[in-house]
């Protein structure tokens, strides 16, 4: 590979956007709800093959809407994945992808830069009311919070629910090994001193995580009720099933899959409540609901981690299991139902929602998201034919069509091996081999050449990115 550490790239075919398509004033602007789970694997819904987790509400949405089977998160860990979702840009562009520290921590000083234009700021241009509920993880200091990035209101835990461990926590200092002292039970909430915030103020610390899923759903429903007579955008980012796992009394012991299953089934129940509220308010046919996950499951936590199904590896890695996630699009009366095998990404939500809201993309920056409107309407294929797989600020793999090339492979959390730079990239035909078991590089040198040409065409702006990374790493 000529450029193992490409730090800024552009999918040239995905950045083309037609302002004329965006200015759709004939139709009522749809409401949009994005439900974003944390560390939920590709195989953790019954509609995606989970044998012992019941998710009837999401399964019904998948039947009535579209179930995507080749959908990718923007990154394999929290912070860069969320940056990609809200900006439509690979996180390396915003400085939210770093090789030094891949996620933000409670002692981090920085966050999503003010110069980034978020999906909330996009739809605000079209008169939308906006709310962020749940895990943000793009900076917990006031200037980086959702209320300074286009969201009218914020309610949630600003970073991962396992951060801010207290001195009373017997896991402190031993983390993964210590976690298994509580393998069959919920951990006391006061072992994690995470704050629950409303807008910019802490209203509860430690947050009662036993009830956090239910309260996030209730907040979402209240926002919908208050704004159902005008266009609204809601990002509901659940803090779970990231460990430590918590479920309300109603759902503890609810699932055949243990506490992890309880958590997923409570999230599914909340999704059902939101859908029912949309129907009750008679706005279901005016509302697009998207359900997906921020990255693959955290397998090192055994039964408290989810499943990537048949996919290889998990969270933190650029194998398929780290970044291919479940994705359901539901919009009754508008979306063409079916199973979609086209390539899609959380990056594309930004561009698609901007289009549906009638807002042109910013013309002063590269946006990596594709507009999925035509495939949602059953009018054509996804324009996304390529996908980049970053680990931190370094490009590890790239997909073009059915083929994916790995230039660097590396495990995480003590699993799936050490870092290897491949002189000849590994190549997998994901259509025939989604588990990435059979390297076909020797059989398809022409495909490797095409992927390399694709990478070489990407725009590179190292000066801008180096400045952004320096800002992030100074934290």
**Residues annotated as part of the active site:** 78, 137
3-state helix, strand, coil in the chain (%, to 5): 30, 20, 50
Query: Tokens 């095409």 identify what position?
Result: 450
Cα Rg, the chain, nearest whole Å: 21
Q: Which two tokens stand for residue 281?
A: 């308010």
Q: Which two tokens stand for residue 147?
A: 């209320």
Q: How far is CA 23 from CA 27, 265, 347, 354, in A?
A: 10, 39, 21, 10
Burial environment of residue 272 by CB neighbours within 10 A (0 to 12, 13 to 18, 19 or more): middle
- Residue 360 in contact with residue 294, Cβ under 8 Å? no
Helices (H) and strands (E) in the chain, counts: 12, 14
Chain Cα centroid distance, residue 41: 11
Residue whose C-alpha is closest to residue 22's, from 119, 117, 126: 126
Query: Tokens 């996950």 identify what position?
Result: 293
Query: Tokens 């190292």 identify what position?
Result: 462
Burial environment of residue 26 by CB neighbours within 10 A (0 to 12, 13 to 18, 19 or more): exposed
- Residue 98 sits at the vertex; the CA angle it makes with 312 and 460, to the nearest 5 degrees, is 95
Q: Which two tokens stand for residue 193?
A: 């001193």
Per DSSP, the three-state class of 372 is coil
Rounded distance, CA 47 to CA 269, Å?
15
């Amino acid at each position: 590979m000529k450029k193992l550490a490409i730090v800024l790239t552009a999918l040239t075919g995905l950045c083309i956007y037609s302002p004329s398509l965006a200015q759709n004033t004939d139709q009522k602007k749809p409401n949009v709800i994005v439900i974003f789970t944390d560390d939920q694997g590709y195989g953790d819904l019954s509609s995606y093959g989970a044998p012992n987790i019941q998710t009837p509400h999401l399964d019904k949405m998948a039947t009535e809407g579209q179930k995507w089977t080749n959908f990718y998160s923007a990154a394999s860990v929290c912070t860069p994945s969320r940056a990609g979702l809200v900006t439509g840009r690979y996180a390396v562009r915003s400085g939210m992808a770093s090789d030094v520290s891949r996620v933000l921590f409670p002692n981090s000083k920085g966050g999503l830069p003010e110069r980034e234009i978020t999906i909330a700021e996009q739809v605000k241009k079209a008169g939308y009311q906006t709310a962020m509920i749940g895990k943000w993880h793009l900076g917990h200091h006031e200037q980086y919070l959702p209320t300074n990035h286009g969201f009218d209101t914020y309610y949630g835990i600003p970073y991962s629910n396992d951060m801010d461990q207290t001195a009373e926590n017997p896991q402190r200092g031993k983390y993964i090994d210590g976690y298994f002292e509580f393998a069959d039970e919920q951990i006391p909430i006061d072992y994690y001193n995470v704050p629950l915030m409303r807008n910019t103020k802490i209203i509860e610390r430690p947050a009662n995580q036993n009830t956090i899923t239910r309260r996030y759903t209730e907040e979402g429903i209240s926002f919908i009720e208050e704004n159902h007579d005008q266009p609204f955008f809601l990002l509901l980012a659940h803090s779970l099933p990231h460990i430590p796992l918590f479920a309300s009394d109603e759902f503890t012991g609810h699932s055949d899959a243990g506490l992890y299953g309880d958590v997923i089934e409570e999230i599914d129940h909340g999704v059902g409540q939101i859908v029912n509220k949309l129907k009750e308010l008679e706005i279901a046919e005016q509302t697009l609901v998207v359900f997906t996950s921020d990255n693959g499951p955290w397998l090192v936590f055994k039964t408290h981690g989810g499943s990537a199904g048949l996919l290889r590896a998990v969270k933190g890695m650029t194998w398929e299991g780290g970044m291919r996630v479940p994705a359901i699009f539901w919009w009754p009366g508008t979306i063409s139902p079916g199973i979609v095998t086209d390539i899609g990404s959380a990056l594309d939500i930004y561009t698609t929602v901007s289009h549906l809201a009638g807002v042109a993309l910013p013309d002063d920056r590269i946006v990596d998201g594709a507009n999925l409107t035509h495939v949602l309407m059953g009018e054509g294929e996804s324009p996304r034919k390529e996908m980049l797989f970053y680990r931190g600020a370094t490009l590890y793999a790239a997909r073009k069509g059915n083929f994916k090339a790995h230039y660097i492979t590396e495990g995480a959390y003590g699993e799936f091996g050490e870092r290897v730079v491949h002189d000849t990239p590994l190549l997998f035909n994901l259509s025939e081999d989604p588990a990435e078991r059979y390297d076909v590089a020797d059989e398809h040198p022409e495909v490797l050449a095409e992927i390399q040409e694709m990478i070489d065409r990407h725009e590179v702006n190292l000066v801008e990115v180096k400045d952004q990374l320096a800002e992030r790493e100074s934290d």
